[in-house]
Structure 1
C-alpha cells in the first residue's frame, strides 16, 4: 500500500471522528453530518481501490479521471447549496411569522400603548 493511501485513510478516519465529536457537542446536526460522512466514505473507498477512479471515469465516459472528480465535486456543491438555500428560505419565513406573532401579542398585552 502506498504512503499516500495510508495518509489519506488516516486523515479520513480522523475526519469522521471529528464529525462525531461535533455532533456530540451539538455543533453539527446529524442531517448535515451525513453528507460529510458519505464524502469521507467515498474518499476511503478510492484510497483502498487505486484503479477505482479510472474504472468510474470509463463507466461515465469521462476521458480523464481527474475531470470526473472535479465534475462530481461541483455537482455535489451545487446540490448542497440548493439544500442550504431551501433551509435558509424556510428559516426566513418562520422568522417573519414569529416577528408578526410577537407584534400581535405585544399589541394584545399592551393594548395599543407604544413600548
Structure 2
C-alpha cells in the first residue's frame, strides 16, 4: 500500500513537472516568434512537439498507450524518448537549412568573384581607351 502511494506521488510529480515544462517550452517558442528571434517556419516543429508534450503530459492514458505501443514499461520514460526524438528531428531540420545556406553562400561567393573579375576587365578596358 505504501509503495503504491509513493509510486502515485512520484508519477503525479512527474506529470506536473511535464505539464509545466511543456507549457513553458510552448510559451517560450511563441515569445521567440513574436520578438522575431525565431522565424515561423522554424518554430513549427518546436510548437508541434510542444503540443505533443502537452497532450501526453495532461492525458495520462494517452501517454500509457504510447508507452505500451513503444514497449516501454514506465510511461514517463516514453516522454524522454519522445523528447530525444523531437530534438533529433529538429537537428535534422536545422542541418538541412544550414546545408542550403552553405550552398547559397558558395554560389554567392562565386558570383561575386566573377563580377569582380568582370569589373577589373571593364576598368582596364576604360583605362586603355583614355
1:91–1:74 Cα change, 3 Å: same
Q: C-alpha root-mean-square deviation of aligned residues, in Å?
A: 2.7
Q: Compute the displacement of 1:93 (Å).
A: 0.9
Match of 1:60 among 70, 83, 99: 70
1:45–1:80 Cα change, 3 Å: same
Q: 1 or 2, which has the higher helix percentage? A: 2
- Deviations 1:36-83 (CA, angstroms, capped at 9, x unpaired): 212221222133213332222113332332442333223222222222
Match of 1:39 among 49, 56, 65: 49
Alignment coverage as a number of residue pairs: 112
**Does 1:24 pair with 2:69?**
no
Match of 2:83 among 62, 68, 73: 73
After superposing the two structures, state which structure 1 stretch, 84-93 or 72-81, moved more. 72-81
In the alignment, what sits opposite 2:3? none
After superposing the two structures, state which structure 1 stretch, 32-41 or 53-62, moved more. 53-62
Q: Of the two, which has the highest radius of gyration?
A: 2
Q: Compute the displacement of 1:110 (Å).
A: 2.1
Q: Compute the displacement of 1:4 (Å).
A: 6.8
* Partners of 1:103 and 1:48 in 2: CA distance: 57
TM-score, structure 1 as length reference: 0.73
* Partners of 2:112 and 2:18 in 1: CA distance: 51
Structure 1 unaligned segments of length 5 or more: list them.
Answer: none
Q: Compute the displacement of 1:12 (Å).
A: 4.0
TM-score, structure 2 as length reference: 0.67
